Every structure is written in structure tokens, then in C-alpha cells.
Amino acid sequence: MTEVLEELISFYFQLRGYFTLTRIIVPCGESSRGLSDFDVIAYDRNENEVVIVECKGWGSPEEYPSFDTPGRLDKLRNIAEKIIRCWNSFVKSQFNKYNFTGEELRKIIIVIPGKISSGNRSMVISSIQIEIKPIHEVILDIINTVKEDMYIRRKRYWNPALEMIRWIIRALKTHALTEKELIEALQI
């Protein structure tokens, strides 16, 4: 599941003008190899800004827990701190084929499989903005981006999920599909 989400987030940033990389190996981690990876690196050339997105897919398919507990909040902070440590190692390593520097990292987004209150959605660590974003909000952002972009680009998307969103929007717009039918199809 997280690979699909990583690809969708990569395409989302591409639609917003970023250059993206997915699953980039970094010399950091607790594994025996000492390697980890960044799920998505999004680079804005105009702003010289890097956003790293970490996609988490914990839990069973039925769960959608709250991340407002002290233990889960600590876990999210630890993830953000590890990403910063790994970034600092990465920019000095042979894996950095794009000549990124330490100063370009401005934001980390951690996508979570659950909900979180607005007061716990952001923090700053080492001058880097950390944003915690529930997956349902990421999905809504992607839908809204496709809705805006599809009339500008006026051609098919290269990603099947984005193309499916485009077809749903077209069917809703032409009343071939009603909102009620779509909601009923999605109800559990």
C-alpha cells in the first residue's frame, strides 16, 4: 500500500511543478546494512527547496486510529528526527547523485494511516517544518489537484489512479454518475 501512496504523492508534487524522486537509498538506519530510504523527495527548482515525504502504512486494513496519543506522537517526532539525521548523511554520501545540500531541506511531511487533531499536526525541529498529514487529506488534495489540473493539461494522466479520478470527475460533471451513487458505492 505504501508504494502506491508514494507514487501518488510523487505525481501530486509533479503536478505542482516539483521534480520528484521515490525510494532513494540513504546511508542511515538501524538495519544491518546501515541503509534506509526516503519515500519521496520533492524538489522545487525555483525555490531551491526540498520536501521529504514519509508514508506510513501501519495497522490492519480496517484500522484508522487516532495519532493523538503520547506514544504515537513521540514515534512521529522520532521519525522526523531520523529523517533529518538521514538527510544530513545523505547529502554527503555517494547516493546523492543530484548534489543536494543540507540547507535545501525545508519541510518534512509524514503521511499517517489515521486521524490527528489540528494541534498535533505540525512541529519544528532544527528549523525544519514538520507536517503530519492523515492519508484521507492527502487523497482529497490529490483529487482537488486533478480537478484543477485536468482542464489545463487536457490530456490523459500517466498514472492509473489519477486517470481514474479524472474519469470520476468527468462522469460527475456530465451527470453520468451522481454523487449519491458514488457515495453508495464507497459506503461500507
| Cα 49 to Cα 105: distance, rounded to the nearest angstrom | 6
pLDDT at position 31 is: 55
Q: How many domains does the chain have?
A: 2
Total residue count of the chain as it appears in this document = 188
Per-residue pLDDT, 35: 66
Is 160 found in the same domain as 124? no
The residue to which cell 540513504 is assigned:
26
pTM for the whole structure: 0.87
pLDDT tens-digit readout, 50-94: 999 999 887 777 788 889 999 999 999 999 999 999 999 899 988
In this structure, the answer to whether residues 123 and 147 fall within a common structural domain is no
pLDDT digits (tens, 9 = 90+) for 116-127: 999 999 999 999
- Which region holds residue 35: left if phi is over 0, alpha if psi is between -120 and 50, else beta? beta
Q: Phi and psi of 146, rounded to 5°? A: -65, -40
**170 lies in the same domain as 116:** no
Same-domain check for residues 12 and 93: yes
Are 78 and 132 contained in the same domain? yes
Return the SS3 of 123: strand
Q: Provide the pLDDT for residue 75.
A: 93
Q: pLDDT grade, residue 166 (50/70/90)?
A: very high
Confidence at 161, pLDDT banded by 50, 70, 90: confident
Of 116, 137, 158, the position where a domain reaches its end is 137
Q: What is the pLDDT of residues 24-46, one digit of tens each?
A: 888 875 554 566 889 999 999 99
Same domain, 154 and 103: no
Q: Do 145 and 161 reside in the same domain of the chain?
A: yes
Is the domain of 90 the same as that of 179?
A: no
Domain hosting 102: range is 2-137
pLDDT in tens, 7-29: 889 988 998 899 999 998 888 75
